[in-house]
Amino acid sequence: MPRPSQNTDQQLVEAARDLMRSAGISQLNLRQVAKKAGVNLGMFHYHFKTKEAFTRRVLQETYDKFFQEFTLESSKDGETLGQLRGALVALGKFAVRNRRMFLAILHDVLNKDKVVLDFVKTNIPRHGEVIVGLVRKCQKEGSLRKMPLSSVMPFLMGTNALPAMMLSMMEHLEIKRVRFIPLKLIAFEIASEKAIENRVDLALSALRPLTIQSKSRRGR
């Protein structure tokens, strides 16, 4: 018996997600969103009351799937070092492939958005624990040198996370070339599977025992 809804709430959310990709959630402009969605400005108050509630819903829909998508299921068989390598490569590939999303998350984290914060706080540790466990096991087995985790972990995490972020940021800023080299080429060299694996091997080789210095396992 009421007037039927035209799902303006969903239209607004989707328009916002589009705009978010280029500008970030922090500088989302409600009038702009409404215009893009072809929906009246007043619908924000009708559906969501406040901007915070609205952005919460936008972020919810954006990040929900993203975080569930990635699970570090390390294969239980093989050497522990090989397992660690596999986990790091998987993490690296995921980071590189979803680099734009990572940058967006970073952006939202810096804006102290509560929704994103909750996601990050619950999801990052989960993956971290897997890596930590494997590193410890390797250290006990002697395949990695004994070093404090506070040194090892940031080092390992940085090997692929930072290249992915740097690349994503350059793309974000639409930088055309670095040192006269086209970004496209650099992107390939940074984001290729081989490059990701190489960086992991590079990092692991640095952590191996000093006595038996050798290349860490190569090839896929």
Partner DNA sequence: CCAATAATTATACGGTCGTATAATAATTAA
Partner DNA sequence: TTAATTATTATACGACCGTATAATTATTGG
Rounded distance between C-alpha atoms, residue 150 and residue 154, angstroms: 7
Which does residue 220 touch among a copy of itself, DNA, none (CB within 5 to 8 A, set by kind)? none
H or E segment to which residue 178 belongs: strand 177-178
Stretch that binds DNA, among 3-11, 65-73, 99-107, 149-157 (CB under 7 A): 3-11
Q: Contact at 8 Å (CB) between 31 and 19?
A: no
| One-letter amino acid of 32 | Q
68 touches DNA (CB under 7 A) = no
Q: Contact at 8 Å (CB) between 101 and 112?
A: no
The interface with a copy of itself within residues 133-192 (CB under 8 A) comprises 148, 150-151, 154-155, 157-159, 161-163, 165-167, 169, 172-173, 175, 178-179, 181, 186, 189-190
Q: Which two tokens stand for residue 19?
A: 């705009």
Stretch that binds DNA, among 6-14, 98-106, 140-148, 189-197 (CB under 7 A): 6-14
3-class DSSP state for residue 135? helix
Q: CA dihedral defined by 158, 166, 189, 70, rounded to 10 degrees?
A: 60
39 touches DNA (CB under 7 A) = yes
Q: Which residues bind a copy of itself (CB under 8 A)?
A: 23-24, 26-27, 103, 106-107, 109-112, 117, 121, 125, 128-129, 132, 148, 150-151, 154-155, 157-159, 161-163, 165-167, 169, 172-173, 175, 178-179, 181, 186, 189-190, 195, 198-199, 202-203, 205-207, 210, 213-215
